[in-house]
């Protein structure tokens, strides 16, 4: 393996451990991957391996056809979903899947996570969409690939980086980012805004969406071409 790929394996390992640090997973219910676009390789967590047994060395390397070329273990069962997203969206450099409780509750309800306030607007430029459910045939054959396809279908022509996450109906959330660690960051924020939206809807069932001008202000001051949040690089 090249030095660059070894560094990516270390980065993906550290990002996977962040899921545990931020209480986004129970047992082995989650995975993080990263991509080497030059060589069309994906590094991902091995399937079903307890977090205390993970290491940079046992992160699994697969090509864009899902064939294992390094790591010695079976890759995550969600690998085909990750690869589908990397193939479709060149901007994505890391993908995360969890079953974090509040985001999963929204997924199981079949509802978008609505943009209700400025915390949401700081990271997601609008609702976090819920996909349609997969049909019988999509579940029976190429289930994980079809999960990726339904995510891509739901994003449509929108910029995937403006809302860097989604919830798959009857399943759970996926997030992505500019690196594996950034994708984990977005997974943490998605779970937090899912909690806030659920509490808000319980306190005020008739709550309306955040006004567009306030959504614009908070999102664009962090992510727009004239962003002014934070320090100058």
Query: Given 122, 127, 143, 216, which residue is catalytic?
Result: 122
C-alpha distance from residue 13 to each of 9, 57, 70 (Å): 6, 9, 14
Has 122 been annotated as catalytic?
Answer: yes
**Which is catalytic among the residues 142, 159, 199, 229?**
229
CA-CA distances (angstroms) from residue 23 to 91, 99, 188? 27, 11, 9
Terminal Cα distance for the chain, rounded: 33
Please confirm, yes or no, whether 229 is among the known catalytic residues.
yes
Q: Give the sheet arrangement for strand 165-167, strand by strand.
A: 68-70, 60-63, 41-44, 30-36, 94-98, 173-177, 165-167
Active site residues: 122, 229
């Amino acid at each position: 393996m090249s030095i660059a790929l070894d560094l990516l394996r270390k980065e993906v390992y550290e990002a996977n451990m962040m899921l545990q640090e931020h209480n986004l997973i129970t047992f082995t219910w989650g995975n993080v991957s990263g991509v080497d676009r030059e060589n069309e390789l994906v590094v991902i967590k091995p399937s079903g391996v307890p977090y205390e047994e993970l290491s940079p060395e046992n992160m699994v390397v697969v090509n864009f056809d899902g064939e294992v070329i390094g790591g010695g273990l079976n890759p995550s069962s969600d690998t085909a979903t990750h690869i589908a997203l990397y193939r479709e969206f060149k901007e994505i450099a890391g993908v995360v899947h969890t079953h974090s409780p509040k985001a999963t509750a929204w997924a199981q309800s079949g509802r978008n996570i609505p943009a209700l306030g400025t915390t949401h607007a700081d990271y997601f430029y609008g609702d976090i969409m819920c996909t349609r459910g997969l049909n019988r045939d999509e579940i029976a054959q190429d289930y994980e690939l079809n999960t990726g396809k339904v995510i891509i279908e739901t994003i449509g022509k929108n910029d995937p980086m403006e809302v860097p996450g989604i919830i798959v109906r009857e399943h759970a959330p996926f997030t992505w980012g500019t690196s594996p660690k950034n994708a984990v960051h977005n997974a943490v924020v998605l779970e937090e805004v899912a909690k806030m939206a659920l509490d808000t809807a319980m306190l005020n069932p008739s709550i309306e969406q955040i006004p567009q001008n306030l959504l614009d202000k908070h999102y664009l001051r962090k992510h727009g071409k004239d962003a002014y949040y934070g320090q100058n690089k």
